Structure 1
Amino acid sequence: MTALSPADRTGVIEEARAALDAFLDGLNSHDMEQWTATLHFPQIRVHEGAVTVWQTAEEYLKESQDDLTALLASGWRRSGWLEVGYPQVSAEQVHATVRFGRYDAGGGLLGVFDSVYVVTREEGRWGVLARIGFDSGTDAQA
């Protein structure tokens, strides 16, 4: 693997950040197809002591609708980045450390989550390949 120049690293981070923002916009739209379009497959999620792998977008759409329904039922309406870091960057893959908050319709904080997102460029398109995270609690410092 060739080291990136500072300018190339900055460009890759900007592209990966745009993919992360599209991911969050898709989630916040409450539109499963828009959200799924920001992912790469197989999609991997490590959470709550479990590993889930969805092989295809169709599988993800089918199996994740209930998760979105439960999230909405909890009072959640949107999520927002609190912190995003980029400890590992290559031309085709970025590991982003993120802290995000979940908010209710009035803007009240429901929870804070720390995660690592693996963002990859596949066939010229950046998307989220994997998410590893946990609930940091609502009293975590943003």
Structure 2
Amino acid sequence: MNSFLSFVSRTSDSSIDQGVVDEASHCLDRFTEAFNSLDLAGMDAQLHFPHVMISESETLLWDAPGQHPSDFFLRLKSTGWASTRYESKVPVLTSRDKVHFLVTYTRRSNVGAELSRHTNLWIVVRRNDMWGISLRSY
């Protein structure tokens, strides 16, 4: 983006291109498949960098892959977690190359019991013909 005017000229319209939403949604599915497979590199493969995470009032900026703590899954498993699944992925703003999703997912035990439920805003962007998650707000 070279200027604010080029940004203004590309604002999202009110129509939803279901094909674009489906492509962006598949990126989220691949991320969660990697998550459930304990595959940090696979998760990183579905992110665009720099990658932004907003949690409460804290903003994290990851410039490159490999930023998850090495004990990420050990800590998660200590809560009884066995898998994560989407309950809904609602597109709330779309354009040709970007979809904002209101994502609701649950963390589940090995017997499928719901341990926690989260609703977040995730922004998926197509850059160089690749869909990747650019921002997650928790």
TM class, shorter-chain normalised?
0.7 to 0.9
Instruction: Say yes or no: does 1:54 pair with 2:59.
Output: no
Aligned AA for 1:27? F
Which stretches in structure 1 are left out of the alignment for 5+ residues?
134-142
Identity %: 27
Kindly indicate whether the alpha-carbon contact (under 8 Å) linking 1:117 and 1:130 is maintained by their aligned counterparts in 2.
Answer: yes
Kindly indicate whether the alpha-carbon contact (under 8 Å) linking 1:42 and 1:55 is maintained by their aligned counterparts in 2.
Answer: yes
- Where does structure 1 differ by over 4 angstroms across 4 or more consecutive aligned residues? 2-6
Which stretches in structure 2 are left out of the alignment for 5+ residues?
1-9
Kindly indicate whether the alpha-carbon contact (under 8 Å) linking 1:26 and 1:38 is maintained by their aligned counterparts in 2.
Answer: no
Following superposition, the deviation at residue 81 of structure 1 comes to 0.6
Equivalent of 1:124, from 119, 125, 129? Answer: 129
Following superposition, the deviation at residue 69 of structure 1 comes to 2.2
What SS is found at the alignment partner of 1:75?
Answer: coil
Equivalent of 2:117, from 106, 112, 119? Answer: 112
Mapping of residues 83-94 of structure 1, within 5 Å = 83-94=88-99
Q: Which deviates the most, 42-51 or 20-29?
A: 42-51
What SS is found at the alignment partner of 1:57?
Answer: coil
Write the deviation string for residues 51-82 of structure 1: whole angstroms up to 9, x where unpaired: 11110013x2xx43333321122111110011
How many pairs align?
129
Of Structure 1 and Structure 2, the greater helix share is in 1
Structure 1 CA distance, aligned partners of 2:78 and 2:91?
A: 33
What TM-score results when the alignment is normalised by the length of structure 1? Answer: 0.83
Aligned AA for 1:107? G
Instruction: Say yes or no: does 1:80 pair with 2:85.
Output: yes
What TM-score results when the alignment is normalised by the length of structure 2? Answer: 0.85
What SS is found at the alignment partner of 1:64?
Answer: coil
Q: What RMSD over aligned residues (CA atoms) do the two structures have, in Å? A: 1.8
Following superposition, the deviation at residue 48 of structure 1 comes to 4.1
Equivalent of 1:42, from 50, 53, 65? Answer: 50
